[in-house]
Every structure is written in structure tokens, then in C-alpha cells.
Amino acid sequence: MDITTFNPPVRTLMGPGPSDVYPRILEAMSRPTIGHLDPLFVGLMEEMKALLQYAFQTESALTMPVSAPGSAGMETCFVNLVEPGDKVIVCQNGVFGGRMKENVERCGGIPVMVEDEWGKAVDPQKLEDALKANSDAKIVAFVQAETSTGAQSDVKRLVELSHQYDCLTIVDAVTSLGGTPIKVDEWQIDAIYSGTQKCLSCTPGISPVSFNERTQEKIRDRKTKVQSWFLDLNLVMGYWGSGAKRAYHHTAPVNALYALHEALLILKEEGLENAWKRHQDNHLALRAGLEAMGLTFIVAENDRLPQLNAVSVPDGVDDAEVRSRLLNQYNLEIGAGLGVLAGKVWRIGLMGHASRAENILLCISALEAVLSDMGAPINTGVAVSAMHKALSR
Ligand SMILES: *Cc1c(COP(=O)(O)O)cnc(C)c1O
């Protein structure tokens, strides 16, 4: 085997994540590594907390980056909040709700599933029925932005309902943070986790999380030890909690945290509201182009995520062939369908830095070229102008 330096091509990343990384972030990552207990690094982490609090719209002191990808943020919420025998209502409308169920089971909890069709938002009525039927439930968990389908659920409403029935809430905001509104304090979300590689447009591998006072109390009052040493927040609070001395817990991924600091700074410079609006405007432009071509969205208009656009693969078209041509001829990555949607949909991401006009133009024109070359039944010659018209609105 002749092994040399790995030199990846420059791709345009318009799948379900990772998304295009801001050049400023890659540059930040290449700065000199310093010790994770170096006073300068501790200062950086103080800023990180403030930046994460801004992104999540919370004042909670337990707002921090977990040193592992979004899945570890999910696990942090479940292993700390679920004790053996606890009943947890999990709303599932795609892939990630299924992983929440796995997490509950592995913590010794009892999952109660509230299922909605893939491509639909979580139905608040079904949640309320489950809350009524399970008065001993302690936690409700659901995904705000289901990346597997492109559907978004009404967090504010679902949290309100859960609190009416005395349940704490765990919210998956991996794909929503930085792309669609999240207001942790205003909506009274109890525990939330996200990821770096979706709408923050940072490199993958870190998971921002935030826990409010009620959840911190529950964690302190646990009867059993958290079964994960690494993710046990009782230990991490020693490093991160207010007034805590910076004791060694694990070696922080120093350069990855430079990257996240830069990503959050970019978000703050743009402003949350502006970022949310940019995602929405660009979604409408992509949509105009795709619909002009004759492609159709699988999610109802009011429940669509601007940052994840799931469209049906036209009849008779080989889904994998299209994606491989886009990748090989245009260096453009779009996502395949997952689970029950495998082979049936494409998932086009407009996340973070990937949500910009030139990407939409590339996606629309490359998709049209590939589909028409393959003899797919689409309208040609109209999509790009429909997109431009929507952009100039
Ligand atoms: C991507 C994603 C995850 C998992 O994040 P990883 O960083 O891949 O571990 C969890 N939930 C949702 C909704 C996601 O989109």
C-alpha cells in the first residue's frame, strides 16, 4: 500500500450534514494547540459559554460543548436524566426518535412511543393522549428538526403540554440550532442538545448542550450513579459549573473548540434573527427552482424545515446514480433517503454556510442537467429563472 498525505477535493456539501465549513473556521483550527488548562484556554471557554448561551437563547450556566458528536449530546441528556424504571415518552417521526428509544432502553428506562408518519410533524394531540394515559411518565423527548424527513415540530407547544403533565423535556436541536428559531428559556426547554456540523457550519465532532435548573436538581438528586463516567454531568459540573475550579476531567479537543468558538462568533456577528431569515429565504429560492422543474416536497408546507429539503425521486429514476453523478461531475453532495424513505427521496441541505445563492444555483442547474441527461420526466429551462425570481423578492 502506497500511503501519502490525504488531500480531499473541495466539495459543496448540501446533504444532511456535515455542511460547508466556513473558511474562517478551518483557519481557526490550524492555530497552535495550547494546554486545555492554560489560563488562555480557560478564557476561551468562558467566551464559549457566553456564545452558546446566545445561540440557545438561555442564561443557564450549564450550557457547554460535549467533546463528541451530536449523538453524544443525545446520550448526555438521556444517561443523566433517565434512571432505571423511569417512564419516558418518546415522540418519533423519523430516524432520530428511534435512537432516543434506544437510549431510554439502555438507561433501564421504559419508553412509551408516540408515533407519527415520517415526513409529518409530531402531533401535539397524540402527545397529550399519551401524557393522559401515562400519568407516571417523567420525561418527554422529541426532535425539533427531523433531518431524516425535513419536518419540524412545534417545540413551544410540545414543551408546554409536557409541563402541564409534570414531565421534563429533552429536545434534539442538532439540525435546528442556528437555522430555525430556538428559545430555550422563553420556551422553558429543560434539556437540549445540538451538533456543530449542521447549521453552525463547523467541523463535526462537538455537541453543544444546555440544562436548566430543574434538570440539574434531578441530576444531583439521582438515586443511582450515571452509568457513563465520561458523560456524567455531576463530574463535568466540577469543571463547568459556576465558580468551579478547572479540575482535570478529560483533555478537551482544543483545536476543535477553537473551531466552535469561531463558528459561534460568526453566528453572533450575523445575528440569530438574520441567520434564521437567510435560511428561510434561501429555502424559498431552492423550492422555487425545484418545483419549477416538477419535483415535489414530501413535507406539508407549514411543517417544512428551511435547512433540510426532502423531495421525491421521480418515478423510474435511479436515486444513487443521480447522487453519484452530482458528486463526480459537480463535486456536489446531496443526501439519500433513510429508513422507509431510502431510494424514495433526496435530502437537500441548506445549512449554515451552505445556505447561499451560489449553492442553490449549482444545485438547481446540476440536478437539472443530470436528470435531463438521464431522461427523467422534468421540466427543463425554467428552474434557474424561477430560483432567481424568488431570490430577488
Ligand atoms: C445529525 C443528527 C444527529 C446526530 O449527530 P451526530 O453528530 O451525527 O452524532 C442527531 N439528531 C439529529 C436530528 C441529527 O440531524
Question: What is the rounded CA–CA span in Å between residue 317 and residue 344?
Answer: 10
Q: Are 60 and 184 in contact (CB under 8 A)?
A: yes
Ligand 1 in reach of 378 Cβ (< 6 A): no
How confident is the model at residue 116, as a pLDDT? 98
Which 8-state DSSP code applies to residue 231?
T
Contact 121, 153 (CB under 8 A): yes
Residue 138 and residue 168 in contact, taking contact as beta carbons nearer than 8 Å = yes
Q: How far apart are CA 150 and CA 129, in angstroms?
A: 25
Domain around 58: 23-269
pLDDT value at residue 209: 98
DSSP states of 251-267 as a string?
Answer: ---HHHHHHHHHHHHHH
Whether residue 310 sits in one domain with residue 250 = no
- Burial class for 181, CB neighbours closer than 10 Å (0-12, 13-18, 19+): middle
Instruction: Quote the cell numbers at residue 9.
Output: 477535493
Any ligand 1 atom below 6 A from CB of 147: yes
- Predicted confidence at residue 246, as pLDDT, reads 75
Q: Could you tell me which of 170, 147, 188, 174 has the C-alpha nearest to residue 90?
A: 170
**Of the candidates 269, 299, 332, which is a domain's last residue?**
269
pLDDT at res. 26: 98
Cβ–ligand 1 contact at 143 (below 6 Å):
yes
Rounded to two decimals, the pTM is: 0.97
Q: 247 and 331 share a domain?
A: no
Output the pLDDT for position 244. 65
**Domain end residue (candidates: 235, 251, 269):** 269
Instruction: Burial-class residue 302 by CB neighbours within 10 Å (0-12, 13-18, 19+).
Output: exposed
What's the pLDDT score for residue 231? 97
> What is the CATH number for 358?
3.90.1150.10
Closest to 191 (Cα-Cα) out of 212, 160, 166, 161: 212
| Whether residue 217 is found in the same domain as residue 279 | no
Residue 10 placed within a domain: no
- DSSP designation for 241: S
How many structural domains does the chain have?
A: 2
Residue 175 beta carbon below 6 angstroms from any ligand 1 atom: yes
Grid coordinates standing for 81? 436524566
Task: Determine the distance separating the centroid of ligand 1 and the alpha carbon of 143, expressed in angstroms.
Answer: 10
List the CATH number of the domain containing 83: 3.40.640.10
> 338 and 241: one domain?
no
Q: Does residue 4 lie in a domain region?
A: no
Q: What is the pLDDT along the chain (393 residues), one digit of tens a residue?
A: 899 999 999 999 999 999 999 999 999 999 999 999 999 999 999 999 999 999 999 999 999 999 999 999 999 999 999 999 999 999 999 999 999 999 999 999 999 999 999 999 999 999 999 999 999 999 999 999 999 999 999 999 999 999 999 999 999 999 999 999 999 999 999 999 999 999 999 999 999 999 999 999 999 999 999 999 999 999 987 677 666 677 788 999 999 999 999 999 999 999 999 999 999 999 999 999 999 999 999 999 999 999 999 999 999 999 999 999 999 999 999 999 999 999 999 999 999 999 999 999 999 999 999 999 999 999 999 999 999 999 998
For residue 12, the CA-to-ligand 1 centroid distance in Å is: 20
9 part of a folded domain: no
Most informative mutation of 19, 100, 147, 347 for ligand 1 (most atoms within 8 A of CB): 147
Model pLDDT, residue 248: 82
d(CA 375, CA 3): 41
Does residue 105 sit within a domain?
Answer: yes
Among 78, 149, 174, residue to substitute to test ligand 1 (most atoms within 8 Å of Cβ) = 174
In a domain, 17, yes or no: no
Q: Which atom of ligand 1 is nearest to the CA of 175?
A: 15
The answer on 155 and 71 residing in a single domain is: yes
Task: Clarify whether residues 234 and 188 are in a common domain.
Answer: yes
- Strands of 162-270 (E only): list them: 168-172, 191-193, 207-211
129 and 109 together in one domain: yes
Give the Cα separation of 94 and 52 in Å (integer).
Answer: 27
Same domain, 276 and 263: no
Dist. CA 350 → ligand 1 center (Å): 16
Q: What is the chain's Cα-based Rg?
A: 21
| 247 and 335 co-located in one domain | no
Q: Are residues 224 and 277 in the same domain?
A: no
Structural domain contains residue 289: yes
Q: Within this chain, do residues 239 and 285 fall inside the same structural domain, yes or no?
A: no
CA 312 to chain centre: 22
Does residue 2 belong to any structural domain of this protein? no
Instruction: Say if residue 263 is in the same domain as residue 350.
Output: no
Q: Of 269, 296, 331, which closes a domain? A: 269
Residue 55 resides in a domain: yes
Which residue from 95, 96, 200 has its CB within 8 A of the most atoms of ligand 1, so it is best to mutate?
96
